[in-house]
């Protein structure tokens, strides 16, 4: 294959470029480079052209021309995805369609508790705009300073707020989507109750750009909590302690329990070792840790009393060995920074094989025990790095190479390790992709292991909406 990706007809390139203007049609490979490699460097694509439209009308014209010419289109927002859905393939036939210029917040409606935003708006910008209006937008991710709403919706992003508020799909009331034909599906409604036929928006939320291009959305807002209390707890025995603590916290706090994160000792230690400006949350070491947040709608005092009551009972029952409640907003932020830093602090330990899985919450302790056995069977001495959103059943079950192994030798075990862990997930009726999506990474496994009828139905939907197969080919299905 030619090293230079000039596989597209130059005449077709010119026609596409004329839609957005030369300034927003990137042809130089130095300018294109950031759009064809994802953040972990696992996928490197090729393209002759990146288009950066500035309006929905321009997106529609691009899609009409793509259908006319049979040109594959890869929609891309912040390029922070972890499964390769936003990266073109190596053929050079794809055009990358960046939504980053569609970055307006169109409306904040505090009475309806909604915000209408375009696909290129950065998640943190939405959070800050909601906060300024006296509201909360609860979607929260480690990449929130760079990820964009279009990608959040296309991947049905999860994050740390799912326990209380749901994932991206549950936070979306309406969408605006440009179809492969260039037609615009305008469903930007603010209705919380609407039983008028199929829920069409949810065909596109979570579809990873394989059915159409999300250009805008109506998102839910919530009242800002009056108080936020964050606790870091050390558990004396096993994840069964965490399950007991979660049950206790749910019983006492109900909807006020807005986060419950499980952290094993190894990622905790990695973060103390490699994290910059990290403060040790607890004086002593424990086998497992929990970061828990209570958000009170009444007052700071109410939230603090509630979290202290939960921890006092947990200490009395022996399911918590030690705990600290944040003494200030800054300390609460520091606890969260510790949690968000975990993934980066695994990198200095060498190559890793990562799994984004979910199982029923009650099965988490048994899953962790069973999965540890199969990991050891595939690679004796491999180091399990387990942490995640226990409150919604989602674990990042990552495996770092043995200390004395070379990266390349460990990564040769990717497929057997992946299969072994995912087989355990399936034995608990779980999911092999809890919040990151399918993309390129898990496409073949999804097709091979999902119920045949599910695959058939997805392919029928794909064929009906994108019969020419130009929407993000090679991804998901």
CATH architecture type of domain 10-98: 2-Layer Sandwich (3.30)
Give the tokens for residue 32. Answer: 């294109």
Entry pTM: 0.91
pLDDT at residue 362 greater than cutoff 50? yes
- Reported confidence tier of residue 5, pLDDT bands at 50, 70, 90: very low
Q: Residue with structure tokens 């009828």?
A: 453
Structure tokens at 126: 């939405």
Tell me the pLDDT band of 331, cut-offs 50, 70 and 90. Answer: very high
Please report which confidence band the pLDDT of residue 413 belongs to, taking 50, 70 and 90 as the band edges: very high
Where exactly are the structural domains of the chain? 10-98, 105-223, 227-347, 350-438
Mean of the per-residue pLDDT values for the chain? 94
pLDDT exceeds 50 at position 159: yes
74, 98, 193, 257, 472 from 208: Cα distances, Å: 10, 14, 26, 30, 8
Residue 441: the pLDDT is 85
The reply to whether 350-438 shares the fold of 227-347 is: yes
What DSSP string describes 248-306?
HHHHHHGGGEEEEEEEEHHHHHHHHHH-TT---SSSS--SEEEEEEEEESS-HHHHHHH
Domain 227-347 listed as CATH 3.40.640.10: no
- Rounded-to-integer distance, Cα 474 and Cα 439, Å: 8
Please state which CATH number belongs to domain 350-438: 3.30.70.2740
Supply the CATH classification number for the domain 105-223.
3.30.465.10
Calculate mean pLDDT across residues 271-300.
93
Read off the pLDDT band of 1 (50, 70, 90).
very low
Find the angle CA(433)-CA(422)-CA(292) to the nearest 5 degrees. 55
């Amino acid at each position: 294959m030619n090293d230079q990706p000039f596989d597209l007809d130059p005449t077709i390139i010119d026609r596409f470029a004329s839609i957005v203007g030369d300034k927003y049609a990137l042809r130089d490979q130095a300018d294109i480079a950031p759009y064809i490699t994802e953040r972990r460097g696992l996928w490197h694509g090729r393209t002759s052209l990146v288009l950066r439209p500035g309006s929905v009308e321009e997106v529609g014209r691009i899609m009409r021309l793509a259908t006319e010419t049979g040109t594959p289109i890869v929609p891309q927002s912040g390029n922070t995805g972890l499964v390769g859905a936003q990266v073109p393939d190596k053929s050079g036939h794809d055009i990358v369609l960046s939504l980053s210029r569609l970055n307006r917040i169109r409306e904040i409606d505090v009475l309806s508790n909604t915000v209408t935003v375009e696909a290129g708006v950065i998640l943190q910008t939405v959070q800050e705009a909601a906060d300024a209006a006296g509201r909360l937008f609860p979607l929260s991710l480690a990449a929130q300073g760079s990820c964009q709403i279009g990608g959040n919706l296309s991947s049905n992003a999860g994050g740390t707020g799912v326990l209380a508020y749901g994932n991206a799909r549950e936070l979306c009331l309406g969408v605006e989507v440009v179809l492969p034909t260039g037609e615009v599906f305008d469903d930007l409604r603010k209705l919380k109750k609407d039983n008028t036929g199929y829920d069409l928006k949810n065909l596109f939320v979570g579809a990873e750009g394989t059915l159409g291009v999300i250009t805008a959305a109506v998102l839910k807002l919530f009242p800002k909590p009056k108080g936020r209390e964050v606790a870091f707890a050390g558990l004396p025995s096993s994840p069964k302690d965490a399950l007991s603590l979660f049950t206790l916290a749910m019983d006492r706090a109900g909807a006020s329990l807005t986060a419950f994160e499980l952290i094993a000792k190894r990622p905790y230690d990695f973060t103390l070792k490699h994290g910059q400006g990290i403060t040790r949350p607890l004086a002593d070491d424990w086998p497992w840790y929990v970061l828990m947040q209570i958000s009170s709608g009444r007052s700071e005092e109410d939230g603090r009393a509630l979290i202290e009551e939960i921890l006092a009972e947990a200490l009395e029952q022996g399911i918590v060995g030690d705990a600290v409640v944040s003494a200030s907003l800054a300390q609460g932020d520091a606890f969260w920074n510790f949690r968000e830093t975990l993934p980066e602090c695994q990198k200095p330990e060498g190559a890793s094989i990562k799994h984004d899985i979910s199982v029923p919450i009650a099965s988490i302790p048994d899953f962790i025990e069973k999965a540890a056995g199969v990991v050891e069977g595939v690679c004796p001495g491999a180091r399990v790095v387990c942490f995640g959103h226990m409150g919604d059943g989602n674990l990042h079950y990552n495996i770092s190479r043995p200390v004395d192994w070379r990266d390349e030798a460990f990564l040769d075990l990717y497929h057997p390790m992946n299969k072994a862990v995912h087989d355990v997930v399936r034995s608990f009726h779980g999911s092999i992709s809890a919040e990151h999506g399918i993309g390129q990474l898990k496409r073949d496994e999804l097709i091979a292991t999902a119920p045949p009828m599910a695959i058939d139905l997805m392919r029928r939907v794909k064929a009906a909406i994108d019969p020419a197969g130009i929407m993000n080919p090679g991804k998901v299905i």
